[in-house]
Amino acid sequence: MDRQSESCCMICGEMKSEGIVVVHQFICSGCEQEIVRTDVKDAKYPIFIDRMRKLWMQLQA
């Protein structure tokens, strides 16, 4: 991985090179896949909702 092209994932906080940008925030491909596959009954679901809510709050600011 090229350190120059890495970004900090807003979900896991790790530096990664592959992922998406949503409302100017980077989400690594691993977290993106986990978000998509997580069931609403999973313990991680509220964590993802909280992090995504922060994106929407930034958009509204």
Q: What is the pLDDT along the chain (61 residues), one digit of tens a residue?
A: 445 689 999 999 999 999 999 988 999 999 999 999 999 999 999 999 998 898 888 777 6
Are 45 and 38 in contact by the 8 Å Cβ rule? The answer is yes
The pTM assigned to this predicted structure is: 0.80
Q: How far apart are CA 7 and CA 29, in angstroms?
A: 12
Q: For the chain, which residues make up each domain, given as ranges?
A: 3-60
For residue 51, give every residue at least 6 positions away whose Cβ sits within 8 Å of its Cβ, in sequence order, or none: 10, 11
